[in-house]
Amino acid sequence: MNIYAKEFNSAVANVSKAVSKDEYRPTLCKIHIQSVDDGIMFESSDGFRIHRSTCYIIDNCQEFDILVDHLDKVPTDVEVISISIKDNKLVIYDKSYNFEQNEGKFLKSEEIFPKRNKEMCISFNAKYLKDALQQFKSGDFIELQFEQDFKTGGIDNLKPITIRGLRGCCSTNMVLPVRTG
């Protein structure tokens, strides 16, 4: 099956951040890779966060649900890469990886992530949200506060998200939601 290299590299960068290093939780020390609908889902969790990315398959879907120790990015001058399972190895572009079948070992993130409900979906400009979060450092605790004007109701009456530092940096920032529909 084929996917875009740029999407793959973005997925690897995202999920690599949340792979556990806790040897007492060996399944969380791996990256979960699963074929889903028209894509390949990559996910990881260190027990405190879950990172998930999906790359859309260009052609030739193959079903699998596996765990790998790590993934390497592919060269940036390549547009499309192939992913396959051959001789009990996961082959991505020109690299082979050992894998094990998931068999229900990795957490069932689909039960944790909320379903996309249009009535509850809030969109933000990623640049503004990133700017608002950037001043907080690793180890800081933050609170995200969402408000809605319940008298008039509806998604159109959302107020800005408030991002407040609780421990460490004690700043407060607000980001306005984007109207998406």
Kindly report whether the global pTM for this prediction surpasses the value 0.75.
Answer: no
Average pLDDT by stretches of 10, the chain with 181 residues? 92 92 92 90 89 87 92 94 92 95 88 62 81 78 73 60 69 72 53
Give pLDDT, residue 167: 60
pLDDT per position as a tens digit, 99-141 = 999 999 998 877 776 665 555 567 788 888 888 887 777 777 8
CA-closest candidate to residue 31, choices 9, 13, 16, 49: 16
Number of Cβ within 10 Å of residue 57's Cβ equals 19
CA-closest candidate to residue 90, choices 33, 150, 141: 33
**Whole-number Å distance between alpha carbons of 141 and 169:** 8
Q: Which sequence spans correspond to the domains of the chain?
A: 2-111, 118-175
Give pLDDT, residue 154: 55
Q: Please determine, looking at this structure, whether the domain spanning 2-111 carries the CATH number 3.10.150.10.
A: yes
Strands laid side by side in the 80-86 sheet: 2-4, 80-86, 89-92, 95-97
Give pLDDT, residue 79: 95
**Whole-number Å distance between alpha carbons of 20 and 89:** 23
**Whole-number Å distance between alpha carbons of 101 and 87:** 14
Give pLDDT, residue 177: 80
DSSP 56-94: E--B-----EEEES---PPPTT-SEEEEEEETTEEEETT
Give pLDDT, residue 68: 97
